[in-house]
Amino acid sequence: MIQYKAIGFVEREGPPSRNLPCRVVILEEFVEGLLGIEEFSHLILIYHLHEVKEWSLLKEVRGFKVGVFATRSPRRPNPVGISVVRLLGREGNKLEVVGLNAVNGTPVIDLKPYDRWDSVQEPKVAPWHPVQ
């Protein structure tokens, strides 16, 4: 059995927005792990999609039937979300970020610095994918 524990949670007003900042609050027992995080412009946040109750292996996207693993749908067997966010600042155990696609209260299970290993130049994207 695989088990994870939350290291923090998302704190925001309103729905997720690509352009509006929100906070990631790290639990006190993990704050020491933030040492040096301010040296990075971007982070990778991994979070549990706690409001997802059902999943499906197939999805319809723009008239195409595709597998869930070819989508960014939250309705997947393991409801794990990932976002690359811009780090605006840190105050103690609170990180202010922009670009997080998660609702208020979402449990954060990990975060990592975004670096050159995470960058792909001109990736191929399916023509039916909603984000080009």
- The 10 Å CB-count burial string (b at 16+, else e) for 39-52 is eeeebbbebbbeee
pLDDT tens track for 18-73: 899 999 999 999 999 999 999 999 999 999 999 999 999 998 888 889 999 998 88
| SS3 at position 33 | helix
User: Where do the domains of the chain lie, and which CATH numbers do they carry?
Assistant: 16-116 (2.40.30.70)
pLDDT tens track for 4-21: 999 999 999 999 888 999
Please list, in sequence order, all residues whose beta carbon lies within 8 angstroms of the beta carbon of residue 12, skipping any fewer than 6 positions away.
20, 22, 23, 100, 103, 104
The neighbour count for residue 122, using CB atoms within 10 Å, is 5
Q: pTM for the whole thing? A: 0.89
pLDDT at res. 48:
97
pLDDT at res. 132:
55
pLDDT at res. 113:
96
E-assigned strands of 20-79? 21-26, 42-48, 58-61, 64-67
pLDDT tens track for 85-98: 999 999 999 999 99
CB–CB of 81/48 below 8 Å? yes
pLDDT band at 123 (very low <50, low <70, confident <90, very high): confident
- Sign of the four-CA dihedral 51, 118, 12, 91: positive
* Residue (of 16, 30, 31) closest to 97 by Cα position: 16
pLDDT band at 118 (very low <50, low <70, confident <90, very high): confident
The neighbour count for residue 6, using CB atoms within 10 Å, is 16
